[in-house]
Amino acid sequence: MAKKRDPIGPLMDLNVGVQPLTRLHKLANAMRAGGVPLAALAETTTIDEQTGVVTRMMALCGQCSGPCCSTLRIPITRSDARRLAQNLKTTVARLPLLPLDGLEEEAEDLAGYLSKGQSPCAFFDRGCTVHGFRPDVCRSFGLNACIGTGSFVPLRLPNRAAGPC
């Protein structure tokens, strides 16, 4: 049987209440300017009872052009890569991964990068197209990180086929 994941793990620090008000005001202003309803700040979390996999969804991401998926370094683990390959019915070798840099700080279980900050993740297309089985680093990227980077960029598209990040 597959080992259960820690259902809380990276979600521990996602307490919106600890954000300085000034940051929330800044975000709210960006949302207003982009015509995005403030209700888009809602977050929902589900835990798969069978596998323990946590899926957290920021409604906000569905309204955003996703700069976090294009301008940050996004390392993924071998286990992330296997999950992506399995769900995409391909092999790890065929995934659109950027190679490791051979740096000392790269963890041993890294498979590669989805982005090194110079180009968007290949799975981003007006939202995350692999949302249900996206890598752990993407799952743990929440409101705190978003506001921390100040990267929220409202998108003015009314209908989006892809899921939020």
Q: Which residues here bind ligand SF4, judged by CB under 6 A?
A: 58, 60-61, 64, 66-69, 74, 114, 121, 123-124, 128, 130, 134-135, 138, 141, 146, 151-152, 165
Cα separation values, 1 from 4, 27, 46, Å: 9, 43, 21
Nearer to ligand SF4, 54 or 152 (CB): 152
- Give me the least distance between CB of 31 and ligand SF4, in Å please: 9
- Give me the least distance between CB of 1 and ligand SF4, in Å please: 27
- Give me the least distance between CB of 132 and ligand SF4, in Å please: 10
Nearer to ligand SF4, 54 or 114 (CB): 114
Written as one letter, the residue type at 129 is T
62: nearest Cα among 84, 40, 43: 40
SS3 per residue for 29-76:
HHHHHCCCCHHHHCEEEEECCCCCCEEEEEHHHHHECCCHHHHCEEEE
Nearer to ligand SF4, 101 or 125 (CB): 125
The contacts found for 12-15 with CB under 8 angstroms, 24 or more apart, are: 13/144, 14/43, 14/56, 14/142, 14/143, 14/144, 15/144
- Give me the least distance between CB of 112 and ligand SF4, in Å please: 13
Nearer to ligand SF4, 109 or 117 (CB): 117
- Give me the least distance between CB of 117 and ligand SF4, in Å please: 11
Nearer to ligand SF4, 54 or 146 (CB): 146
